[in-house]
Structure 1
Amino acid sequence: MAERSRSAAAVWSDPDFAGAWLAADPRGEHDLLALPRLIAARVVAEETPEPRLIVDVAGGGGAFLSVLLEAFPGARGVWLDASPTMLERARSELARFGDRVEFRPGDMTELRAAGVPGDADLIASSRASHHLDRAELHGFYQEAAGLLAGGGWLVNLDHIAPEEVWNRRFRSARKKFTPPRPAGTHHHDRPLPGIEDHLDGYRAAGITEVDIAWKAFYTCLFMGRAAPR
């Protein structure tokens, strides 16, 4: 496990920290990420209407996987996260899907070591890879791409670092849409990757069909499709 990823995993394994984050995570009308999750499902469905296997990497409380499994009732899901607290929440949130979901503890930088199966039709991740540096991020994309079936999708809904002038604008405007998180409920010890870090990572992993399907303030929905085999 890379050093930066190891540090982040240790923080999220703290039950008090992870619990406080979950309690402060916006829901309902304040959840700005409900729309991009639905967009991801809709775009995938345009060309892959019946995915068989969906893997949610660093799946947290299970919000993204829940949307995807509802959109694709014939699919089974694999949930992966390093946090025991997130596992507890995800088991509760995803219980209605029964044996369609398999839960695996593990880090996003060691997908094969965690037992993530290959030939996935869709590998998704949400709000996790911004804890990686550029090299680790590219390593994640490389490993994830290698676990995709031909024509499979790699989807990442994550925060990015904008230029400073936009950082100031976004920080002020965002307060009108979402309540501020309490101090100490999020962990960023280094600058976040930027948009180009993500796009370069997709392309270096061999996924050249990549675009930003949605963007608001600091968060982008990156979507890419592997070439058919």
Structure 2
Amino acid sequence: MSSDCQKPEGIPAMTSEWTRPEHVESYLAIKDSVPHRDAGEATLLAEIPRNSQRILDLGCGDGHLLSLTLDHCPEATGVGLDFSPAMLQRARERFAANHRVSLVDHNMETPLPELGTFDVVVSSFAIHHCEHHRKRDLFAEIFEFLRPGGVFCNLEHVASATPAIHDRFLEAMRATNDVEDPSNRLLDVETQLRWLRELGYEDVDCHWKWRELALLCGRRAEAELLA
């Protein structure tokens, strides 16, 4: 792992619960007990070719998903991006002896820094903290990062179709001591899938869903190799 996170200058910090260490610690204490999360992660890994060479994890947190994807793709190197100091510290600790990983300190509310191109871009329960207009812009930036044939997999917290369904989600999550994060900016699945298609992604679909947790995927066309 690189000895220090790369930090672009002039990037404002997001006003978010995720800048508070106690909020981060509370989330990390319960993340592994989120119902059916392992099923969502397994479905995500199934969408990623094992021969992928370069992986980007947006909102990498403590490095959990990036670690899973690198285990799945033994020849790959990974870049993890996050803005939370507490999360980045956990990721540094996780990858301290792993030279396949570099970390970038960056707030996704602002345009992504130049990071090169990737076979795979993943994200796990992070992009929903961005405002809706920024989500769409971010999807467009991710598309430009993907190599032809590359895949974007977003394991995400999405909006329920009705308030009653949202209440049932909260009821199901109370078993994990979950509370609603004031930084959440939840958006429905249909809108996000439509945006991905409009931006040029192919094979766009929701491959897995449990209540407000969903896996949204799209690919960049292989045919661009012939352009």
TM bracket, shorter-chain basis: 0.7 to 0.9
1:1-80 superposed matches below 5 A: 6-8=14-16, 11-27=17-33, 32-45=36-49, 49-80=50-81
| Deviation at residue 88 of structure 1 after TM alignment | 1.1
Report if the CA contact (8 A) 1:119-1:150 is conserved. no
Paired with 2:142 and 2:69, the residues of 1 have a C-alpha distance of: 18
What secondary structure does 1:104 align onto?
A: strand
TM-score (norm 1): 0.83
TM-score (norm 2): 0.84
What secondary structure does 1:107 align onto?
A: coil
Against the structure 1 CA distance between its residues 17 and 167, is the aligned structure 2 distance closer, same or farther, given a 3 Å change threshold?
closer
Matched letter for residue 179 of structure 1? T
Root-mean-square deviation over aligned CA pairs: 2.4
| Deviation at residue 15 of structure 1 after TM alignment | 2.2
Q: How many residues align?
A: 213
Against the structure 1 CA distance between its residues 19 and 169, is the aligned structure 2 distance closer, same or farther, given a 3 Å change threshold?
closer
1:81 matched to which residue of 2? 82
Matched letter for residue 166 of structure 2? N
Matched letter for residue 38 of structure 2? A
1:108 matched to which residue of 2? 108
| Deviation at residue 191 of structure 1 after TM alignment | 4.9
Report if the CA contact (8 A) 1:57-1:124 is conserved. yes
| Deviation at residue 31 of structure 1 after TM alignment | 5.5
Q: Where has structure 1 moved over 4 Å in runs of 4 or more?
A: none
Paired with 2:163 and 2:35, the residues of 1 have a C-alpha distance of: 25
Matched letter for residue 168 of structure 1? D
Paired with 2:35 and 2:168, the residues of 1 have a C-alpha distance of: 20
Percentage identity across paired residues of the two chains: 28
2:217 matched to which residue of 1? 223
Which sections of structure 2, spanning at least 5 residues, go unmatched? 1-9
Which sections of structure 1, spanning at least 5 residues, go unmatched? none
Matched letter for residue 216 of structure 1? W
Paired with 1:189 and 1:111, the residues of 2 have a C-alpha distance of: 19
Matched letter for residue 86 of structure 1? M
1:59-208 superposed matches below 5 A: 59-95=60-96, 98-110=98-110, 112-113=112-113, 115=114, 117-162=115-160, 163-175=162-174, 178-181=175-178, 187-189=181-183, 191-208=185-202
Report if the CA contact (8 A) 2:77-2:101 is conserved. yes
